[in-house]
Structure formats: C-alpha cells, structure tokens
Amino acid sequence: MENCCCGESKLSGILARYQGQDGALIKALQDAQGLYGYLPEEVLARIADYFDHPYSQVYGVATFYAQFRLKPRGENLIRVCTGTVCHIMGGPQVLAKISEELNISLGETTEDNKFTLGSAVCFGACSQAPVIMVNDDIYGRVTPERIAAILARYCTGV
C-alpha cells in the first residue's frame, strides 16, 4: 500500500477489533483515518474486503460523511465561516482572497501540503464577522487585505 505500509499491521489490528460486529464500518473508517490522517484508496479497499462489502459501498460511506477525507490534509487547516452574518459582512471576498493567495479552491490542499482550505457554517463569533479559523486560531473582522499577513504567520511558524 502506498503511504500505508508502515501502518499495515496497525490497520490489521484495527480491523480485528471489529471482527463479527454488525454496523462497525463507520468506526473502522474513523480509526483508519486516525491512523493515516485520511483514507487512501488502498485502505478503503482493505476495509471493503475485510467487511465483505463492495468497494463502492465503503467509498459511498466515506464520501457521504463530511468527517472523512480521501486526500491528505495540509499542515494548516483554514476554515472560512460561511454563516449568514459572515456572508453579509464580506466572507465570500475573504474566501476568494485566500483562494487566490494559495492558488487553491475550497476543499483543496496546496502542493506543498502547507494549507487546506475549508469552510464552516459558524464559529459562534458573529459579532466579529467575517471570521476565519486557522487550526485553532480564530481571526475576526477579517478583510481581504489582512489575508497575506495572517497566512504569513503559518508559513514562517511565527
């Protein structure tokens, strides 16, 4: 398995925990993602074989739930609030500027795996709209002009 061979025995251990358990597919997918950071195609195939499910069914479950990732996530996860208040206060322009700066679209990861761009419905900071979150750091009253400086903090580690 590409990128997975080091965790092959660990994956076997995860799957063995669910032997004979009905309805364990989601939990096995969660544990496998915890091991690899995402769900590579080879891992989905192994899980499908183990549970004797068609690959399409396992893939369908993994793509239906937002918690699962089929691609590696970047070192820094940027989430832009898409809630109503943030939208009205300029969230779409902030999202467009981040996308432009990083040359990626929503749901994508930069080539250097430094950033992944995502969205969230609300961070509970509507009085600070528009809001973005980088990893666990919340930034309020964000403007497109502030994006370069915010991103620079995560490029240099400052």
Of the three residues 64, 87, 104, the one that is the final residue of a domain is 64
Q: Could you give the CA distance from residue 11 to residue 6 in angstroms, rounded to a whole number?
A: 10
User: Within a domain: residue 9?
Assistant: yes
| Predicted TM-score of the model (pTM) | 0.72
Evaluate if residue 3 carries a pLDDT over 70: no
Do 81 and 123 share a domain, yes or no?
A: yes
Of the three residues 64, 91, 106, the one that is the final residue of a domain is 64
Lookup: tokens for 30 = 């969660």
Do 46 and 117 share a domain, yes or no?
A: no
User: Within a domain: residue 116?
Assistant: yes
User: Residue range 59-74: average pLDDT?
Assistant: 92
- The count of domains in the chain is 2
Do 98 and 134 share a domain, yes or no?
A: yes
pLDDT at residue 66, rounded to an integer: 81
User: Residue range 28-41: average pLDDT?
Assistant: 95
Q: Which structural domain range is residue 143 located in? A: 76-156
Do 152 and 82 share a domain, yes or no?
A: yes
Lookup: tokens for 97 = 């500027």
User: Average pLDDT, whole number, for the chain?
Assistant: 92
Of the three residues 64, 95, 110, the one that is the final residue of a domain is 64
Helix and strand numbers, DSSP H then E, in the chain: 7, 4
pLDDT digit string (tens) for 128-147? 999 999 999 999 999 999 99
Closest listed residue to residue 110, CA positions, set 150, 143, 76: 76
Do 60 and 80 share a domain, yes or no?
A: no
pLDDT at residue 156, rounded to an integer: 74
Q: How far from 106 is each of 48, 80, 82, 103, 120, CA to CA, in Å?
A: 29, 9, 12, 10, 11
pLDDT band at 14 (very low <50, low <70, confident <90, very high): very high
pLDDT digit string (tens) for 89-115? 999 999 999 999 999 999 899 999 999
The number of beta carbons lying within 10 Å of the beta carbon of residue 51 is 17
Do 85 and 144 share a domain, yes or no?
A: yes
The CATH number that applies at residue 126 is: 3.40.30.10
Of 22-26, 62-66, 88-92, the range with the highest mean pLDDT is 88-92
- Return phi, psi of residue 70, to 5°: -100, -5
Residue 44 CB contacts under 8 Å (≥ 6 apart), including other chains = 55, 58, 59, 62, 70
